[in-house]
Amino acid sequence: METKQLEEFSGATQREARRQWEVLKRGTVDMLPEDEFLWKLHDSVEHHRPLRVKQGFDPTSPDIHLGHTVGIRKLKQFQDLGHTIVLIVGDYTALVGDPSGRSATRPTLSYDDIMQNAETYQEQFFKILDRESTEVCFNGDWFKKMEFRQTIELASHFTIARLLERDDFAKRMRNNTPISMHELFYPLMQGYDSVAIRADVEIGATEQTFNLLAGRTIQEAYGQPPQVILTMPILVGLDGEKKMSKSLGNYVAIDDPPREIFGRVMSIPDKLIYSYYELATEVPESELADIRQQLESSKVNPMEIKKRLGELLVDMYHSPGEGKAAREEFERVFSRRELPDEMPALGPNELRQLELDPKAIYLVRLIAGAGLAKSNGEARKLIESGAVSLNGEKITDSSFEFALETDVVLKVGKRRFLKLTPA
């Protein structure tokens, strides 16, 4: 393809491309190659041709969490600048499982589970992106049609030696941890997604760098201009150590109720407050500098800054003002030890539907049956660990039973409440 030198573009084109570049570089780790990206922006402005900007998501769980939004909000910046966003829902790559950052082969999901998760993903994407200006593609649309001869052709464009160069595989080789053959196909499949939708730019977390670069190789092999890649930082989860992940339980889902989002944000270690502001919000640079200064001051209580963060994140994914309400409830329940204004309630009829006798309620089955724990086993562990109370009295006997004679408030963990009424 014939290219035009950057200095040949008009002054107006250069200024607009540079403006977009300044907006888009905020929060990125790498733009690879940076000069190619700047040229693509110039060409896009000069010819009024929006860039096709891609990010893929494997629906391995039903929730989009704050870690996902780091990239999605970058897509929104591209969208606001007039570029075309293409979301790849990886119904077929999810069958393989991305080996990036993994020390073992991912467990295989059923296709039905993947598609159920995909439905919720599509709803949650548009809490951030504009639905009308976004293309959503399922990579099964092209992989289902691919003949085995075409699969062989795709595989011919990469060597085993290069695949094994990736850090995840190299570590597993050194540790004698098995690598399944199907895992080797993952970067090739992700790369072919870029061919299928003719991507100009692909966004991903830093751990995705190998896969993103593979996309450039695959595009060139199929006669397309190679995409440029933008890598984004990884948001550390609530544990303060590992990346935010549904499977690790250290996540904040954007579809959670306001009180759940706020409560989870309150549990992040103080050392993560600044990075959450930087990576998970749209706080301007000047305010970020002020937040950093406050966090470094011994005169400022980090909890106050964290509460502002919780309010902000709730308002981003719910109606304005719900963040303030969630904060007030948190302070009422946890600071002043009061009960929340609203909590689910069960009476005798609902208890019988759960096959519980109101005269002899088995606490383990109540907790599991009411959805406050995933199973009887988890309910027992919660009780034995001291995480369960009735009317403020801690219960540690997992065989505990009680009769429903007056109103009872069951508390499980820090934020789950259930009210039982005898009539």
Q: Is residue 361 located within the same domain as residue 320?
A: no
**Whether residue 327 sits in one domain with residue 181:** no
Domain finish residue from 335, 353, 374: 335
Longest dimension (CA), the chain: 84
| In a domain? residue 195 | yes
Same domain, 308 and 357: no
Q: Which residues contact 142 (CB under 8 A, 6 or more apart)?
A: 192, 196
In a domain, 24, yes or no: yes
Weakest-pLDDT range from 172-186, 199-213, 216-230, 297-311? 172-186
CATH of the domain at 158: 3.40.50.620
298 and 358 fall within a common domain: no
pLDDT tens-digit map of 393-420 = 889 999 999 888 877 889 898 778 888 8
Residue ending a domain, among 281, 306, 335, is 335
Number of domain units in the chain: 3
**Per-residue pLDDT band at 107 (split at 50, 70, 90):** low
Residues 117 and 212 in one domain: yes
Domain co-membership, 265 together with 409: no
- Higher-confidence position of 76 and 177: 76
* pTM to 2 decimal places: 0.75
Average pLDDT, the chain: 88
Here the CATH number for the domain that contains residue 366 is 3.10.290.10
pLDDT of the residue at 28? 93
- Over the stretch 294-342, which tens digit does the pLDDT of each residue have? 999 888 888 899 999 999 999 999 999 999 999 988 887 766 666 676 7
Has residue 240 been placed in a domain? no
Q: Is 375 a member of any domain?
A: yes
Structure tokens at 313: 């994140």
Instruction: Give the dihedral sign, CA 90/95/97/98.
Output: negative
Same domain, 134 and 220: yes
The tokens 């060597």 sit on which residue?
159
> Which of 278, 306, 335 is the last residue in one of the domains?
335
Q: State percent of the chain over pLDDT 70.
A: 94
Is residue 247 included in any domain, yes or no?
A: no
Let me know whether 375 and 330 are in one domain. no
According to the model, what pLDDT value does residue 104 have?
52
Instruction: Look at residue 132 and tell me if it is in a domain.
Output: yes
Q: For residues 16-45, b (16+ Cβ closer than 10 Å) or e, as one string?
A: bbeebeeebeeebeebbeeebbbbbbbbbb
- Residue 144's φ and ψ, nearest 5 degrees, are -60, -30
303 and 354 assigned to the same domain: no
Q: In this structure, are 167 and 223 located in the same domain?
A: yes
248 domain residue, yes or no:
no
Q: What is the structure's pLDDT at 342?
A: 72
Burial class (CB in 10 A: 0-12, 13-18, 19+), 239: middle
The pLDDT of 158-175, averaged and rounded, is: 83
Structural domain range at position 358: 345-420
89 and 28 housed in the same domain? yes
* Pick from 215, 248, 227: nearest CA to 101: 248
Q: Are residues 48 and 165 in the same domain?
A: yes
Q: Decide: 201 and 227 in contact? Cβ < 8 Å.
A: yes
- pLDDT tens figures, 53-84: 999 998 888 789 999 999 999 999 999 999 99
